[in-house]
Amino acid sequence: DSGVTQTPKHLITATGQRVTLRCSPRSGDLSVYWYQQSLDQGLQFLIHYYNGEERAKGNILERFSAQQFPDLHSELNLSSLELGDSALYFCASSVGGIRTDTQYFGPGTRLTVL
């Protein structure tokens, strides 16, 4: 158990819908990263928050947004869903950044868009 929790574990929805994925980092970790893992693209970095502030964006679509709240949990919002958004979504937390600190991954949320 990494100490990082993600909810829900599974999510099935239809095209055009909007969903919210939630991540609670390990106690004391200030950084939260979101990643997408799909069959064709593999793992990709989406976005990084540190202590409530957005620090970097990767391959995140404009239909996707995220935020980190004062209690440090984070939410990833996916809207106007398409079939291609079906993937595993992981969050990971660390004390600081990835240049110096180990990342701890959550169990992931499996999103299926029908």
Phi, psi at 47, each rounded to 5°: -160, 155
The answer to the question of residue 105 lying near another protein (CB under 8 A) is yes
User: Of 8, 37, 12, 35, which Cα lies nearest the Cα of 21?
Assistant: 8
- Give one word for 42, left, alpha or beta, with left for phi > 0 and alpha for psi -120 to 50: left
Amino acid 62 reads E
Rounded least distance, CB 102 to another protein, Å: 5
Look-up of token digits 């949320």: 109
Applying the rule CB under 8 A, the residues between 59 and 88 that interact with another protein are: 88
Q: In this chain, which of 52, 56, 65, 79 binds another protein, going by CB under 8 A?
A: 56
The answer to the question of residue 22 lying near another protein (CB under 8 A) is no
Binding site for another protein (CB under 8 A): 2, 33, 35, 42-48, 55-56, 58, 88, 90, 92, 97-99, 101-105, 107-108, 110
